[in-house]
Amino acid sequence: MAISRKISDFIGRASFIRKMFEEAARMRADGQGPVYDFSLGNPDLEPPEAFRERLFAVVGDKSPGTHKYMANVGYESTRRAVAAALERELGLPFTADSVIMTVGAGGALNTVLKALLDDGDEVITPLPFFVEYGFYADNHGGALVKVPSRDDFQPDVEAIEAAITPQTKVLLTNSPHNPTGVVYSAEVLAALGDLLRRKSEELGHTIYWISDEPYRKLIYDIDRCPSLFEAYESSIMVTSHSKDLGLPGERIGYLAISPKADDPATLFGAMAFTNRTLGFVNAPALMQRVVEDLQEVTVDIEWYRRKRDLLYDSLTRFGYEVTKPEGAFYIFPKAPGGDDMSFVARMQEKRVLVVPGTGFGSPGYFRIAYCVDDSVIEGALPLFEEALG
């Protein structure tokens, strides 16, 4: 056997999380009673009715050529619809040429990083971080540099400044944030924009800012998510309809380039090229046509807010230390006793599955993904209380 040594190493190092998932799968199948599974961000919520209606309409349309290749960047009409929705939301002049339809946000992130990175370039990301970012940066010759965040999980601007080197090419943030549920504030985004502008000038090359926002519509205490586009010019947002329309299996997302970026046409051309040559070729045709008319549609936010409130109120009442999440469907409490790995193992014995903060580069915490039925939360709450005792 001689698979790639690098891939073999990666798989070996990831094995402790894999073992946890294997144990969870075994538990789900063992017939020994309910399993309270908060381990995966796989929404247990059907897409909205408008999605189903639109899907029927698209499938019923017998126009020829609807399953053919289109331009690699996606249908112009879909890109125009996305741009118009962004313009309505943000008041910036997005056009079809600001947008490339992608195979989800994961596809978009690889497309953008490939277009920007050369070997040895550094990508800074705040902790805790989504573990895939490390693989994505490495795929394209980059190195992920992880920087501690403030106690409230907002980015620490000074720590990010200290991490910038001549090799820094990208700042990669994620808001609303997985695994903490924190929404980055407009003030922190503005401070980051000022920092990147100053450092790009000093270094003599542009530091690009990529914001990964698959949860941008899932916010509970504010009207809209503060945007990097208001804070910085050389910026690219990647997102998907996995969470806001509940379609993670369909792999439909997009990237949007700031209309204020320097030479946006070159960025667009480079990403059209990398989206093609990484083998994505184009976002799935049928789903492009479906989401075109659903840019203002979102799953039932109340369904998530209720769970957020139930979990946050209960956990704090029990005595857990936890930052209140404002978006996404994650909550990231401190692990009682401080050792997240042993806490997670203890919960597993109670048939409650959560993910250790270690898996996100932040030991001492654990993640609950609450995109599950209320009954799962209600069944698990006494077990969380018990685990404190």
Residue placing its CB nearer to a copy of itself in the complex, 284 or 363: 284
Name which of residues 159 to 188 contact a copy of itself (CB under 8 A).
Answer: 169
282 forms part of the interface with a copy of itself (CB under 8 A): yes
Asked if residues 275 and 102 have their Cβ atoms less than 8 Å apart, the reply is yes
* DSSP for residue 310: H
239 phi/psi in degrees, rounded to 5: -155, 180
Of 85, 90, 92, 273, the one binding a copy of itself by CB under 8 A: 273
Residue placing its CB nearer to a copy of itself in the complex, 55 or 183: 55
Of 37, 97, 250, 292, the one binding a copy of itself by CB under 8 A: 250
Q: Is 213 exposed, middle or buried (0-12, 13-18, 19+ CB in 10 A)?
A: buried
- Compute the least distance from the CB of residue 223 to a copy of itself, in Å: 27
Of 6, 13, 151, 389, the one binding a copy of itself by CB under 8 A: 6
Of 55, 86, 189, 195, the one binding a copy of itself by CB under 8 A: 55
- Cα(231)–Cα(184) distance, integer angstroms: 12
Name which of residues 204 to 243 contact a copy of itself (CB under 8 A).
Answer: 205-206
The answer to whether the bond into 179 is cis (omega within 30° of 0) is yes
Asked if residues 358 and 364 have their Cβ atoms less than 8 Å apart, the reply is no
Asked if residues 220 and 327 have their Cβ atoms less than 8 Å apart, the reply is yes
279 forms part of the interface with a copy of itself (CB under 8 A): yes
331 phi/psi in degrees, rounded to 5: -135, 145
73 forms part of the interface with a copy of itself (CB under 8 A): no
Q: Is 100 exposed, middle or buried (0-12, 13-18, 19+ CB in 10 A)?
A: buried
- Cα(240)–Cα(256) distance, integer angstroms: 11
Using CB under 8 A as the criterion, what x/- string covers residues 126-145 for binding a copy of itself? ------x--xx--xx-----
Of 189, 210, 247, 311, the one binding a copy of itself by CB under 8 A: 247
Of 37, 38, 39, 70, the one binding a copy of itself by CB under 8 A: 70
Name which of residues 338 to 367 contact a copy of itself (CB under 8 A).
Answer: none
